[in-house]
Chains A and B, each alone.
Chain A
């Protein structure tokens, strides 16, 4: 899993049937100091995340498991809303 921040969303009218009803959010991965790290990506949401939220997300086939028994084609899913990041010596702040 990795830390990230929700910075946007994507709207698709035409999409594969198994994505119907899913929210598509743009997540910017964050490093240990809370700064952007690497490319932004599109993730599904399994916990009700919103714009600006600090979250953690999961990558890989495992990312589709929150939606079982449905087979949802996604490899990045937000699986938690972060309340506190405790890294001694880090400046990580949750807005």
Chain B
């Protein structure tokens, strides 16, 4: 009942004087904002026209040149329609509800009201302060365009549009967030992307009940298949070229306003170990680095647990050549191998975290102090064996080869339970945990698509663009794992058969 009465009151806002409107707007719709401003202009015909806006989110130049000054110069009697005609800006709207006006004002609109009129005119001239297009910080590249997404969805869309300039790029717009609405754009290639995937993602987005969407990383976690999992199920990238590449391959991209990253879905486990560098570089480099990253991933998970297990339980598997040096360096260590390893691994994480949190300049010093000084001193003090230092450093290094930082961190943390079980059960513990992880990975899905494709379900022809990177001549179809509408790529000028001229012989 109470709500209804206030609504009635609101609707009776107009017509009234400019000052009353100002008071109503500021107190009822904007919760008394200090940056709320009113500008009154009297035209030659004696009309009083009010401009209401929040000066902190209005582009002043647009306001004065495009909105206020045309109205000021007008000679005849004005009404809403004629004012709208004078202003060259697009997207105007007539509005008479207090709530709506307030909402629009908060998004950077100007409200134009002629005293004692029935409605007011809304024109938007929002000021969005964002960083300019910068170098990618978390995902560095060697070859590719090194720019990253910015905080503005317009700029980001601009980049994507420039990279995929065909009408097949379909963009759907959503406003999410019950309390603080945010704009979200879902984009895909209309003729390639799988219909089921699109519907599924659209359903998840529209049915998402959330107060607000902070940014892409948060959104990606809110629409995951298994929120309890260790592993990320969408790739959140800040590289527009990676984003568009995935869209061109038939995946779906999501851009979030005020977020300098895009979400790619659905993805597979192996795509976390791919980088656009593999595509820009030659195929042999790409294949080698991809296989190397996979190898590094396995190494980073199992190296220190193997050390713990071998030294605690399975001395018989240690090669004869290593046994003496291992024994000698372990001889001075007062802790059992499990403790020793956990201490050193934790130290490694300290160094990493400290380096990440500190300002860049101090961070480098941190690395030297942490890595070299402490590392050296720890061995000399007989706290840990120097072979373990090598292994821990090696596995940390290996985990940093993962191009996706989130995945790299997940894998690094995964090491701790494996170490614990290796220290209590030996190899059995390692196999148990690794089997557990593999089972989990096999059950995991990204947008209802298998996470471990193309290994399971096995799709031989998808290996050419996941685990290895074949030359483009041989890469004739899109990955079937995500069921694109068209698997065959258009017959374009790939390959030598299409080069019409043969060229001369070398010695001619």
Are A and B part of the same complex? no
